[in-house]
């Protein structure tokens, strides 16, 4: 009888450790999000807290589909790993994304795209697009429009390279527009705050 009780106690402890590890991961991941840089710096402290509270941390393995603009519903920030944007039905990548890059619904890409994990492990923070639309500012819309314009230019360069037989993957950053960045309005929040 005592061994069953010990086994039950051990399993409860294991469950608590996994929960703590997930909470620890969440805290560490949210701390790595650039809250004091565009587009997040244009949010009020209350809006930043709201995004923190409604964020999801997701892990993907090599080759797993992360997002598609045909399904949509989310905006992503790439924390670790690499992601490739691919046109649906075409094998060649349009762009290679790395830690610090944004992708998702707010870019409104001209072609049907999907984002696929391109490294052994990919960790992203994602938010529902509806939440982003609620907290959006003109500055943020300009930021994501700039990202969208840069992605379209990369798509055109990629297609031009394919036509010339080069087929090279574009690897430039897709995180910021070409326009100057205004100063942040709000200080960095403590990601452990409730």
Query: Do residues 30 and 191 touch, judged by C-beta distance below 8 A?
Result: yes
Pick the CATH number of 35-163 from 2.40.50.140, 3.40.50.20, 1.10.3720.10, 2.60.120.10: 2.60.120.10
Calpha distance 133→104 (Å, rounded): 13
* CA diameter of the chain: 74
pTM of the full structure: 0.68
User: What pLDDT, on the 0 to 100 scale, is given for residue 162?
Assistant: 53
Lowest mean pLDDT across 13-22, 111-120, 131-140, 149-158: 13-22
Q: Is the pLDDT of residue 36 over 80?
A: yes
Lowest mean pLDDT across 56-60, 76-80, 155-159: 155-159
**Per-domain residue ranges for the chain?**
1-32, 35-163
Q: Strand, coil or helix: what is 140?
A: helix
User: What pLDDT, on the 0 to 100 scale, is given for residue 46?
Assistant: 95
CA 169, distance to chain mean position in Å, is: 20
Of the candidates 118, 131, 113, which has an alpha carbon nearest to the alpha carbon of residue 81? Answer: 118
Average pLDDT, rounded, for the chain: 75
Mean pLDDT value across residues 81-106: 90
Question: What are the tokens at 91?
Answer: 């094998």
User: What pLDDT, on the 0 to 100 scale, is given for residue 159?
Assistant: 58
């Amino acid at each position: 009888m005592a061994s069953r009780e010990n086994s039950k106690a051990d399993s409860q402890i294991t469950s608590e450790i996994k929960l703590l590890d997930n909470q620890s991961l969440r805290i560490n991941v949210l701390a790595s999000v650039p809250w004091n840089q565009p587009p997040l710096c244009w949010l009020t402290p209350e809006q930043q807290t709201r995004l923190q509270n409604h964020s999801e941390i997701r892990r993907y393995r090599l080759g797993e589909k992360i997002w598609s603009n045909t399904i949509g519903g989310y905006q992503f920030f790439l924390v670790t790993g690499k992601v490739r944007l691919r046109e649906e039905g075409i094998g060649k990548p349009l762009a290679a994304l790395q830690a610090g890059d944004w992708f998702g619904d707010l870019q409104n890409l001209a072609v049907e795209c999907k984002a696929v994990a391109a490294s052994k492990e990919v960790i992203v923070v994602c938010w529902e697009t509806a939440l982003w639309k609620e907290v959006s500012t003109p500055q943020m819309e300009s930021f994501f429009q700039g990202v969208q314009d840069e992605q379209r230019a990369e798509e055109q360069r990629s297609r031009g390279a394919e036509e010339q037989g080069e087929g090279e993957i574009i690897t430039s950053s897709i995180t910021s527009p070409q326009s100057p960045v205004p100063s942040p309005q709000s200080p960095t929040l403590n990601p452990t705050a409730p």
